Every structure is written in structure tokens, then in C-alpha cells.
Amino acid sequence: MSRQTSGGEPTNAADAERVPFLNHEPDLLQDDDSIEGPKQYLEKYITYLCYAYIFIVNAGSYLQIAPQADLFESIICKDYYSNIRVADTTVDCKVPPVQSELALIIGLQDLISGLVSE
């Protein structure tokens, strides 16, 4: 038997080697076995709910990229052809000046969102 001081600490180095770091007392915060089934179900439900939420949010953000680019392109095209007096009623929004400005705007948008997220 080892002698311990009043604080519960061993008196010599050999006894200190044998004393466990953690007490083996029952944990007061330990889960009760009777609620293990509903708790596991709730944990799985919350986990799957988080996965579904993340999937929906990410899918929504990717689905808005094409309509947003079309909207930007139509605004740039309208502005480009309002500055140039064209007698022809059909306008081509795929001309290089419109596409270069669209690429610049999308690039700046990606740059800013990348800088903010870092």
C-alpha cells in the first residue's frame, strides 16, 4: 500500500507511477442506456437533415449561375447597343465587346467572393 498525503497525492515517485491519471468513478454525465435508441435515431435524423440542407443550398447556388450570367449578358448587350445606333432590330449579344465585359464582371465577382471567403 502506498501512503498518500491529505491531498490524495502519493508521497514517493514509485507510488506516483502507479496512480491512475483518471479516477474510475462513474461519470455523472454518462448517457442512460434506456434512452439510447431514441437518442441514436435523433442523432441520425439531425445528421441527415444537415446533409440535405447543405446539398440544397449548394445545388441552389450552382443553379443560379447560368440565369445570372444571362441576366448580366442582356444588361450589357442592351447597354452596348444603346450606345451604338443600329438600324437592324436583331442584336447579337455574342459579339466580343459584350462577351469581354461579361467575362470581366464574372471574373471580378469570383475574385471578390474568393477574397471574402478566405
Alpha-helix runs per DSSP H in 19-64: 36-63
Residue 8 lies inside a defined structural domain of this protein: no
Cell numbers representing residue 45 in the block: 435524423
Per-residue pLDDT tens over the stretch 95-113: 999 999 999 999 999 999 8
Per-residue pLDDT at 31: 53
Distance, CA of 15 to CA of 21 (rounded, Å) = 13
Which amino acid would we find at residue 13? A
Domain count for the chain: 1
Residue 63 lies inside a defined structural domain of this protein: yes
What single-letter DSSP state applies at residue 44? Answer: H
Cβ neighbours of residue 91 closer than 8 Å, sequence gap 6 or more:
77, 81
Residue 1 lies inside a defined structural domain of this protein: no
Residue 4 lies inside a defined structural domain of this protein: no
Per-residue pLDDT at 26: 56
Please give the residue range of the domain that contains residue 106. 13-117
Residue 102 lies inside a defined structural domain of this protein: yes
Considering only 18-22, 67-71, 98-102, which range has the smallest mean pLDDT?
Answer: 18-22
Longest dimension (CA), the chain: 106
- Cα 89 to chain centroid distance, Å, stands at 46
